[in-house]
Chain A
Amino acid sequence: MTESIQTPTPSSGNARAIGLVHPVDLVVTLIILSGVSYLFYETTTFAEVAPMFAQNIQPSMYPQILLIIIGTLAVFLPFEHILLTRKGKDIDKERRDGIPRLTLFTMAFLIAIVAAAETLGILLTMIAISLIMPRLWGQKKIVPILMFATVFPVLVVLLFSKVLSVYFDPGLFGVAL
């Protein structure tokens, strides 16, 4: 379950091995710049108001300044490894290995369960998480999983709905305590 999928990351954070431009950080920069460009375009669609009403500060001005600052800082990212290497820091330590397969499965599970939460309702969502996630993470003993999936969500719902008056959406199936 914890097998790794190898992504094309450099094998070392050493500046000499990578050269002037860090390839992974170049991709990160391009992603940031794409986001910045899109959001900058969005700011151009903000409605303009009369200068007197806006007190000379249009609603787009401040986000545009921020986007320019973020974009400018991001441009330096592919070269930053040179400075970091001089300081003895390894920026690639956490990302040298690929994303573990279990992490990818967990991401997929989180997205699926959150997407289904509105339909299932909060109680059924909690039961589903308690049943599936321990198994996904390698818990082999069924009895503890079943005990966890029945006792824990019920306790949580009772605690939060009765003591803290939190409203739990029963979902389309109408399951609630």
Chain B
Amino acid sequence: MDAVILGLSLLLEFDNIMLITFGVLIGVLVGALPGLSSPMAIALLTPFTIQLEPIPAIAMLAALYCAGTFGGSITAILINAPGAPPSVATALDGYPMAKRGEPGRALGLATVASVCGGVLSLIVFIFAAPALASVALQFRPPEYFALAIFALSMLASMTGKSSLRNLISGGVGVLLATIGIHLTTGIERFTFGIPEFDDGINFVPVLIGLFAMGELLSQSGTLNKAVERIHAKAMQLPTWAELKSLKGVILRSSGIGTFIGILPAEGSTVAAIVGYNEAKRFSKVSHEFGTGTPEGIVGPEAANNAAAGGAMVPTLALGIPGSGSTALILAALIMHGFRPGPYLINETPEFVYAIFGAMFFANIAFLAIGLVGAKFFSLVTFVPKTFLWPAVFIFSVIGAYSASSSFIDVYVMLTAGLIGYFMNRHGFGAAPLVMGLILGKLVEEAFSQSMIIYDNNFFALLESPIVLFFFALTFINLSTPFWTGFRKQKANT
């Protein structure tokens, strides 16, 4: 109980409230601007949080993460251009409803569903994270190694076109984590004579490069795309009767979103798509989906916001990122000197409650933002790209440089950006690479310790039932894309 009071009281300090509000506003803003995303904003803000106390810094980033998911729905509904990938499904019915003259209603439905999904998942988070952490305390290096391998295998089912490409991206991320001096032997690996690489590659410039610079280059190819904007004067909250008729969809989608969020590597985008499909499947008016039906808006919105809370469970309890954005929050935690995992929760439980409080605050703030600021946030899409993206580039340079006041980090950022652009072009996602980079050290440490424990006998690992369980899940997960491919082919023929 003391931890709950301590964690929540930290958020009641004026400076911390301002920081979290700042995180929410930035999150909604970047979520609303097509091209800008919450992972990019987290990557850009992380280096500047080093000046802050760890708990408010992470709370601000967590609030930004929630708000970014919600912000994407504003532009999905008003200009049919999802500001963030998780809002892709929202546009399918949100934009048609706005187009037929009900933009305020569409925004209202999206906001209420987001708040419900977000709050429900946070309730699961507050109970599940400490419980999972207690279980994880029993894990030894072999179990951690198997868990990390399972998390990496989940990259295969992450959003993106190709499981194979996601796995290669993840492998490259794990390889990048080997740069620097090998902890056990003190031997330099892949440093190429650059002393700045001795301590390993700095996460922050890589993250900024992949998410901000890669997107900047992609945006340079879409400058002439015109969009039709629908003006929303105000948000219109749904009536009780309407809410009552939609409660089943909201609850189901919130459950789906939370569950998908808890799975390592699966994020809000997958949750939103599944939430939309399930809303359609259970609907009595499934033929109306795509024409502006309320169920088509609340289904994906409740699911994608619920996934944000769910994704924090493995991130904080196990140190395994639940999504691309939480991989960045994990990187920020590491930058602040924390080792995410069960010990973090058990030794500093107030941390979890502070994150819970910040995310809860962010979810409630959506209502205020929707009621008061929907009109303003719909106007931010008028900011010309010709000024917006140079500003992003400037923040990228400063963010990369300020991480350790070194120009090497700026070169790393640019290199990551150029590689990120070509990776994206050829279907290799940036998020799997980041997850590999974050998990890389854990995988190597756990692997080395396991080999020492079992005297280099890999098969002895299988003596542990938990290891066997995770390896079985890994096998099922990796073989699923092949089975589904063959099943679809069979169905087609």
Contacts and interface: CB of A to CB of B under 8 A. Distances in A.
A1 to B, nearest CB: 8
A86 B405 contact: no
B190 A42 contact: yes
Interface in A94-150: 94-95, 99-100, 102-103, 106-107, 110-111, 114, 117-118, 122, 125-126, 129-130, 133-134, 137-139, 144, 148
Contacts of B174: 66
Contacts of B164: 73, 76-77, 80
B489 A160 contact: no
B184 interface: yes
B162 interface: yes
Contacts of A54: 184-185
B448 A91 contact: no
Interface in B185-228: 185, 187-190, 213, 216-218, 220-221, 223-224
A129 B187 contact: no
Given A100-B221, A117-B397, A69 B213 contact: no
Interface stretch (B119-127, B231-239, B274-282, B383-391): B383-391
Contacts of A169: 401, 405, 407
Q: Name the residue in A99, A100, A103 with the highest tally of chain B Cβ atoms < 10 Å from its Cβ.
A: A103
Contacts of B184: 54-55, 57, 59
A153 B394 contact: yes
Interface residues of A, number: 73
A59 B48 contact: no
B424 A94 contact: yes
A46 B172 CA distance: 19
B140 interface: no
Contacts of A114: 397, 410-411, 414
B352 to A, nearest CB: 27
Contacts of A172: none
B402 interface: yes
Given A57-B451, A80-B162, A169-B405, A63 B189 contact: yes
A16 interface: no
Interface in B440-493: 444, 447-448, 451-452, 455-456, 481-482, 484-486, 488-489, 492
Contacts of B138: none
B425 interface: yes
Contacts of B185: 49, 53-54, 58-59
Categorize the interface residue count of chain B: 35 or more
A106 B187 contact: no
Interface in A3-26: 24-25
A37 to B, nearest CB: 14
A56 B386 contact: no
Nearest to B225: A2
A88 to B, nearest CB: 7
A29 B111 CA distance: 45
Contacts of B407: 117-118, 169
B178 A62 contact: yes
Contacts of A166: 48, 398, 402, 405
B424 to A, nearest CB: 7
B178 A137 contact: no
Contacts of B395: 156
B470 to A, nearest CB: 18
A96 B414 CA distance: 25
B219 to A, nearest CB: 9
B318 to A, nearest CB: 22
Contacts of A2: 221, 223-224
Nearest to A80: B164
A145 to B, nearest CB: 8
A47 interface: yes
A91 to B, nearest CB: 5
Nearest to A100: B221
B387 A86 contact: no
Q: Name the residue in B162, B185, B410 with the highest tally of chain A Cβ atoms < 10 Å from its Cβ.
A: B185
B168 interface: yes
Interface string A28-54: 100010000001001100110100011
B274 to A, nearest CB: 17
Q: Which 4 A-B pairs have the closest CB atoms?
A: A139-B386, A133-B390, A59-B182, A100-B221
20 contacts: A2-B224, A46-B188, A47-B187, A57-B451, A60-B189, A62-B448, A70-B172, A73-B167, A74-B168, A77-B168, A86-B485, A87-B488, A90-B161, A94-B427, A102-B223, A130-B390, A130-B394, A133-B393, A164-B48, A166-B398
